[in-house]
């Protein structure tokens, strides 16, 4: 009897110490992230510290993106709807990798269409390069023969815990259910 009781206690202790089972890629042990300051689509200066005690989703993209960006933003919108009132504890940050075209006015027209709580962030080319580098984001302008351009960019989304630490990378096309699952785990920590 005592042996069974001890085994059960050990099991519960091990279960309490185990890491959460994210559906995205667990990046908790990596050297990604860090504090940054950019301007949001209302013109307000924002830093990561502004969102302490919230779970943060950071997605790097651009408003003229034909597929990856709107698809990801729709997945995030759907995830927020599925989270219900818990969504108020989540902050989605859309960080533009196209500061040339993604002005405050353009971001203001684009980002809140998906969810009024989402914030579009931008800055100078140097500021964006620094922030992107902290998250190992690669992006590059691709000119077309017409003189227009697209921006090739990394397509994952980063989930940061309530202390601003990157914990999960959700791959492009994973779906709203993966965001809901992993955001819920982080919200419950």
Question: What are the b/e assignments for 77-104, b being 16+ CB within 10 Å?
Answer: bbbbebbeeebeebbbbbbbbbbeebee
Locus of tokens 């989540």: 90
Q: Please, what sign has the CA dihedral across residues 21, 25, 30, 31?
A: negative
Which of the 8 DSSP states describes residue 163?
T
Per residue in 105-144, pLDDT (tens digit) is: 999 999 999 999 999 999 999 999 999 999 999 999 999 9
> What CATH number belongs to 37-187?
3.40.30.10
Cα radius of gyration rounded to whole Å, the chain: 19
Per residue in 41-98, pLDDT (tens digit) is: 999 999 999 999 999 999 999 999 999 999 999 999 999 999 999 999 999 999 999 9
pLDDT at 43: 96
- Two tokens, residue 92: 């989605």
β pairing state of 90-96 and 119-122: parallel
Q: pTM surpassing 0.85?
A: yes
122 bridge partner residues? 39
φ, ψ (nearest 5 deg) of residue 55: -85, 135
């Amino acid at each position: 009897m005592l042996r069974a009781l001890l085994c059960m206690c050990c099991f519960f202790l091990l279960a309490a110490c185990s890491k959460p089972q994210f559906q995205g890629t667990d990046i908790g042990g990596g050297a990604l992230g860090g504090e940054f300051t950019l301007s949001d689509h209302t013109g307000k200066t924002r830093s990561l510290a502004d969102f302490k005690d919230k779970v943060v989703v950071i997605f790097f993209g651009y408003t003229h993106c034909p597929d990856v960006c709107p698809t990801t933003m729709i997945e995030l919108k759907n995830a927020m709807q599925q989270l219900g009132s818990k969504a108020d504890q989540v902050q989605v940050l859309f960080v533009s990798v196209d500061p040339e075209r993604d002005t405050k006015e353009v971001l203001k027209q684009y980002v809140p269409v998906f969810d009024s709580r989402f914030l579009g962030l931008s800055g100078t080319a140097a500021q964006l390069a620094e922030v992107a580098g902290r998250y190992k984001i690669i992006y590059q302008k691709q000119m077309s023969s017409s003189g227009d351009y697209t921006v090739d960019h990394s397509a994952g989304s980063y989930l940061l815990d309530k202390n601003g630490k990157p914990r999960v990378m959700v791959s492009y096309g994973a779906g709203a259910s993966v965001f809901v699952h992993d955001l819920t785990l982080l919200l419950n920590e």
